[in-house]
Copies of this chain bind each other. A is one copy, B any other.
Amino acid sequence: MRTTTTREHIVEAALALVADRGFTATSVDDIASAAGVAKGSVFYNFGSKSALFEAIITEGVGRLTVALRGATVGLHGRDALDALVTELLGQIRSHPDFAKLMVAETFRTGRSWQDSIRLVREEAMGAFAAVVADTWPHRDATLTAAALFGATLLAGLEWLVFQPERTLDDVRAAVLATVH
């Protein structure tokens, strides 16, 4: 197992802080001291605070895209929906800070990283919309996808932030019972 590099330390610390307090409210001083490095190293490695943030988002987008696209391969109907919900909940559990960030930034506009955020949203919504179109062709795909995505996302965050003693299966069961 490879040693964690300075870059990775910084990304990890920044993601945790920004998910909790927001981008502007998190100073580079905070990030540097949480990562155990000097402020200069942050700028050496990323160039600017917003570039650091964009790197974090891009990394998360890639990870989520791969995971969601793989989840429904070869599946249809409710099996596909079950798999998608389960995979998204698993991603939320593995990367709760990224999930918080997504929720916080999705409906904002005019920020420099808005395009990257839009990508995540479209990727996730698109995965649900594809299942909807395939399973219930008579339903409104995008609005239904938003409802399914919202149910999974908020239940997942409710779990991790406010009821961490629950299991993934508890949450999965609650979401699937609700949307079936």
Using a CB–CB cutoff of 8 Å, the interface residues on chain A facing chain B are: 19-25, 100, 103-111, 125, 139-140, 142-144, 146-155, 157-159, 161, 163, 166, 170-171, 173-175, 177-179
B157→A154 contact, CB < 8 A: no
Question: Which of A24, A100, A107 has the most B CB atoms < 10 Å from its CB?
Answer: A107
Q: B179 and A178: CB pair below 8 A?
A: yes
Q: Which 10 A-B pairs have the closest CB atoms?
A: A150-B154, A143-B174, A146-B158, A24-B24, A147-B151, A151-B151, A24-B25, A150-B150, A147-B178, A147-B155
Which chain B residues lie closer than 8 Å to A159 at the CB level? Answer: 143, 146
* Known A107-B157, A178-B148; contact A173-B140, beta-carbon cutoff 8 A: yes
Measured between alpha carbons, how far is A106 from B102 in the docked complex, in Å? Answer: 12
Bound complex: CA A173 to CA B109 (Å): 27
B155 pairs with A154, CB closer than 8 A:
no
Known: A153-B154, A155-B150, A157-B107. A144 touches B21 (CB 8 A): no
Main secondary structure of the interface of A (DSSP, over half): helix
Known: A154-B149, A154-B154, A170-B140. A22 touches B20 (CB 8 A): no
By the criterion CB–CB under 8 Å, are A174 and B140 in contact?
yes
Beta-carbon contact of A178 and B144 below 8 Å: yes
Please give the distance in Å from A24's CB to the nearest CB on chain B.
4
- Count chain B CB atoms within 10 A of each CB in A105, A150, A171, A173 and give the residue with the most: A150
